[in-house]
Chains A and B, each alone.
Chain A
């Protein structure tokens, strides 16, 4: 499961929708195995569009849980198109590429901050299925 996906997943239990704690899910850094796939190509134009969708506060939270405390506290602002990017901007974008798209969690656990239900990541695939009493 790519790091970016942690920014898209909430607890699927409907009762948790009324809580603000159902997103992002909480990661136990000690139980998560991270790998980096350097072969995933950096596409700045594509990433500029995707960064728009990132919830920065959630990203900070999860990155902290997984041991990365070097992110800027506020979402960096980027120009709309790649040619307008400064060298510094490009470097920041590349760092985000490494974290969001090249890094993935192969094994681990994530927990709803509201209800405490645990979801497992197995062989890189998150399992968000629920037992009958929670559906």
Chain B
């Protein structure tokens, strides 16, 4: 086993460990999280080899990178002493890279030093590297990672309080946030989900290359894009055809995939009521990832007549000798549906369609009232693995992640129970006052 330094971001802390655990599980890595500290961006961890480190971090969003650990200290001098003290310093660390081309980099957390960096790099002279310095394409990047104690929330520190040194193994996938930034996306809407947490959701849901991911409430396709990024064949559906159609050939979901050069990952979006599903039951769906409608920006609807008496006999209506309901321009009526029922349906569908150990992940908003308990929907075949909360001022939303454990799991179920308050929408627009 070898030591590695994981440098993480200090945001979305309720999601960070879930992402790291899910990615470790995806690559069959057993990682000891006992030293993991939610308050720190640093996690010194043991892995078998560099390949494990690369696998683990290459698609992570909530970390920056992972480094082969060479040492740490409160000052540069202490760091040097610590590096020389490492038992594997000479044969494993120093000797191996003696002739590699290299460069040095500095990473600063919550501060910035005005020290002369060249002079600081020269203090590493004892490493005795004989390879050439190459700033553009070095074989190895050695990184000094400095932690500062900030003066205040907005003013960083000037002198680092802890310094790590390591060899860069793998930078994270955080740059994908830039690529999928909603500001630069051709087709988006009010319900589009931001890039960072949609990618994190896809990681926690363990979307895998060459598998099928389904979003039953696709809207403008935010989660389809995230799933496509991780190499899945993605298919979406939505009862609202206008949403998935977009605004012409250049401004629709397909255009988004074209822009990202991932058209081969995008199967289709279907105008379909999730509860009247047309995906054949023998089709394996590996992952279900979605943000169901909560009746805030869009009301919850399914097929059917709100007032069946009004529609009695309408099936016999003919236009130009053709049954009206079989015509190309026919628009079927929809009726309101309860959120609890929709989520019950989603869990039931997932339990039927996901493979064993396949994941369902979806978002659920809740009001932040201290006196109201949030009841998470449960299904007897599904293990609730994560419940990651993102807090806003007066409301919050959570990513619920379930693993299909099959018929023998016998977990708790609250199917059919009334769990949610009816007035979330109204209270959302009244700012929860």
| Residues in A lying within 8 Å of B, measured CB to CB | 1-2, 4-5, 8-14, 17, 23, 37, 39-43, 45-46, 48-50, 53, 55, 101, 117-118, 120, 122-135
Contact = CB atoms under 8 A, between A and B. Distances in A.
B270 A37 contact: no
Given A129-B271, A131-B315, A45 B283 contact: no
A82 to B, nearest CB: 11
B235 A5 contact: yes
A123 to B, nearest CB: 7
Contact of A46 (B209, B276, B328): B209
Given A48-B210, A53-B284, A123-B245, A128 B264 contact: no
B233 interface: yes
Nearest 9 pairs of A and B residues by beta carbon: A49-B210, A131-B325, A132-B305, A12-B278, A128-B272, A133-B315, A10-B280, A127-B271, A128-B278
Given A117-B326, A129-B303, A5 B210 contact: no
B239 interface: yes
B6 interface: no
B231 interface: yes
B212 interface: yes
A126 B311 CA distance: 25
B263 A37 contact: yes
Contact of B278 (A11, A122, A124, A125): A11
Nearest to B248: A123
A80 B328 CA distance: 43
Interface of B: 209-212, 231, 233, 235, 237, 239, 241, 244-245, 254, 258, 263-265, 267-273, 276-284, 302-305, 308, 311, 314-315, 325-326, 328, 330, 332-333
A126 B268 contact: yes
| Majority-rule SS of B interface residues | mixed
16 contacts: A2-B267, A10-B279, A13-B276, A40-B264, A49-B209, A50-B212, A50-B233, A118-B326, A125-B245, A125-B269, A127-B271, A128-B270, A129-B239, A131-B315, A132-B308, A133-B311
Most chain B Cβ neighbours within 10 Å, of A1, A23, A42, A46? A46
A46 B325 contact: no
Given A2-B268, A8-B280, A117-B326, A132 B304 contact: yes
Given A12-B273, A128-B273, A129-B276, 16 more contacts: A1-B268, A2-B267, A5-B268, A8-B283, A9-B280, A39-B258, A42-B264, A55-B282, A118-B326, A123-B245, A124-B254, A125-B245, A128-B237, A128-B272, A132-B311, A133-B314
